[in-house]
Chains A and B, each alone.
Chain A
Amino acid sequence: MTEPHEVRGEQWRVEHPWEDPLVPVRPDPLGGILPPDHPLGDGSAPEGGEIQTISSGWRLAVREFRSNRLAVLGLVVLIFFLLFSFAGPLVYHGNTTISNPLNANLAPGGGHPIGTDENGFDELARMMQGGQAAFEVGAYAALIAIVIGTLYGAVAGLVGGFIDGLMMRFVDVLLSIPFLFIVLVIATRYNGTVVEISMVLGVFSWLIPARLVRGEVLTLRERDFVSAARVMGGSKTRIVMRHLIPNAMSVTIVNVTFLIADSMLALAYLGALGFGLSYPRTSWGDMLGGALTYVQNGQWWLVYPVGACLVLVVLACNLVGDALRDALDVRLRRR
Chain B
Amino acid sequence: MLAYIIRRLGVALLVTAGVAAISYALLHVIAPNPAFVALGDRSSPIAVAAWDKTHGYDRPEVVQILDYIWNIARLHFGYSYKLNQSVGALLKENVGRSAYLSLASLVLALVIAIPLGVFQAVRRNSYFDYSVTTANFVLYSMPSFFLGIILIQFFALDWHVLPPLVNDNITTTWGAIIHPEQLLLPVVTLAAIQVASFSRYMRSSALDTLAEDYIRLARAKGLSERVVLTRHLLRNACLPMITLIGLSIPTLLAGNLLIEYLFNYPGLGLMFYTALGNLDYNVMLAYVVLGGMLTVLGNLIADILLTVADPRVRL
| Chain A interface residues (CB < 8 Å from chain B) | 1-3, 169-170, 172-174, 176-182, 184-189, 261, 265, 268-269, 272-273, 275, 285, 288, 291-292, 295-296, 300, 303, 307, 310-311, 314-315, 317-319
Contacts and interface: CB of A to CB of B under 8 A. Distances in A.
A310 B145 CA distance: 12
A11 B146 CA distance: 46
Contact of B145 (A176, A188, A288): A288
Contact of B262 (A1, A261, A292): A292
A314 B257 contact: no
Contacts of A261: 141
Contacts of B22: 173-174, 177
B56 interface: no
A181 B15 contact: no
B250 interface: yes
Nearest to A182: B288
Interface residues of B, number: 47
A268 B27 CA distance: 23
B291 A188 contact: no
B292 to A, nearest CB: 5
A273 B273 contact: yes
Contacts, number: 128
B146 A311 contact: yes
Contact of B26 (A1, A185, A295, A310): A185
Interface string B195-212: 000000000000110010
Interface stretch (B41-49, B149-157, B175-183): B149-157
B164 interface: yes
Query: SS class of chain A's interface: helix, strand, loop or mixed?
Result: helix
Given A2-B211, A315-B138, A176 B15 contact: yes
6 contacts: A169-B15, A179-B254, A182-B288, A273-B261, A288-B143, A288-B146
A272 B258 contact: yes
Interface of B: 14-16, 18-19, 22-23, 26-27, 30-31, 137-138, 140-143, 145-146, 149-150, 152-153, 157, 164, 207-208, 211, 250, 253-254, 257-258, 261-262, 272-273, 276, 279, 284-285, 287-288, 291-292, 295-296
Given A1-B208, A2-B211, A303-B149, A177 B23 contact: yes
Contacts of B272: 181, 184
A180 B254 contact: yes
Contact of A311 (B19, B26, B141): B141
Contacts of B14: 169
Contacts of A173: 15, 18-19, 22
Contact of A268 (B15, B16, B137, B143): B143
A295 B149 contact: yes
A307 B16 CA distance: 37
